[in-house]
Amino acid sequence: MTSASVATGPVLTHRSALLDRLIDFEIEPGAEFVVELLPAGYSLSAEWGSLPKSAQDSDNGIVLISVVVAPSELPPRPRLAMLPPFPIEEASDSNSFDDLRASILVDRTIGIILLRLGHWAVAIAENGELVVTKTGSRYVKNQHRKGGQSSNRFRRGREKWIRELFDQAGEVASTRFREYPGQIDNLVLGGDRVVLGRFLKRVKLPDGIGDRTLPNRLSVDQPGRKALDTAARDAWSYRIYELSNDN
């Protein structure tokens, strides 16, 4: 009787570190692997059941790496499950890492918008390197302790400040994206989920880039240049779960 598997993670791993890890796998004595690239809409077998819901139904698809062992030992058991930063376009099932490497190394250009009330940051990144950046801020007061008409005036004023913040960030993003000489493949968002949702409803970005927004929202405390550097790295990172047998 085989023991149940336990999933740990995810660990955010940049593609450069992942490529190094694949080399370690390949030189492991006697190791053989099954490498599956599954586009969105995949269905996992029971042996991957310990993965969280986010890994069971990823809009970008999933990469599965299983180790192959001798028939006299345990049956093939899961080793790694990886959620890619960009969509898997074509399914693949092989005993090498060639297709996975090719997927990892695809040239991509993305737009980045980081937004929280009071601050915004916009960038374009080519293959993980920032080539355009712009940051800014717009005062948005968070609290009002008085009630009555004063509270209503504050609420109206706050909504006005938020609209001005959205318009400011949206105008800069639209201008930078429109002026970029090449194709922007995807848009990556970071910051507060509710604020970003309101922003996208108010601002129309050029060339339909809003329709190519990637599902992974980046974690951002305060938008700025430092946050853009982190965002560019995280945008090319995989979320990796390791599965081991629960003995």
Query: Mean pLDDT across the stretch 9-15?
Result: 95
C-alpha 145 chain-centroid distance: 38
Q: What's the whole-model pTM score? A: 0.85
Q: Is the dihedral of CA 7, 11, 12, 13 positive or negative?
A: negative
45 and 118 together in one domain: no
Same-domain check for residues 118 and 221 = yes
Q: Show the domain range for 227.
A: 109-235
Q: Do 223 and 136 belong to one domain?
A: yes
| pLDDT tens readout for residues 206-215 | 999 999 999 9
How confident is the model at residue 155, as a pLDDT? 64
| Structural domains in the chain (count) | 2
Confidence category of residue 244, pLDDT binned at 50, 70, 90: confident
> Residue 215's pLDDT is what?
93
Same-domain check for residues 82 and 122: no
Q: Assess whether 100 and 117 both reside in one domain.
A: no
Query: Rounded to a whole number, what is the distance in angstroms from the first to the last CA of the chain?
Result: 11
Distance CA(169)–CA(238), nearest Å, equals 28
Is 88 exposed, middle or buried, given 0-12, 13-18 or 19+ CB atoms closer than 10 A?
buried
Looking at the chain, the number of H-run helices and the number of E-run strands are: 6, 10
Judgement on whether residues 227 and 156 belong to the same structural domain of the protein? yes
> Could you tell me if 120 and 88 lie in one domain?
no
- pLDDT, tens digit, 9 for 90 and up, residues 113-140: 999 988 999 999 999 999 999 999 986 6
pLDDT of res. 148: 46
The CA R_g of the chain, rounded to the nearest whole Å, is 22
The domain that holds 170 is classified in CATH as 3.30.420.60
Are 95 and 180 part of one and the same domain?
Answer: no
Residues 65, 93: one domain? yes
Distance, CA of 154 to CA of 142 (rounded, Å): 10
What does each C-alpha distance from 24 to 62, 84, 168 come to in angstroms?
A: 21, 20, 47
pLDDT in the model for residue 158 = 72
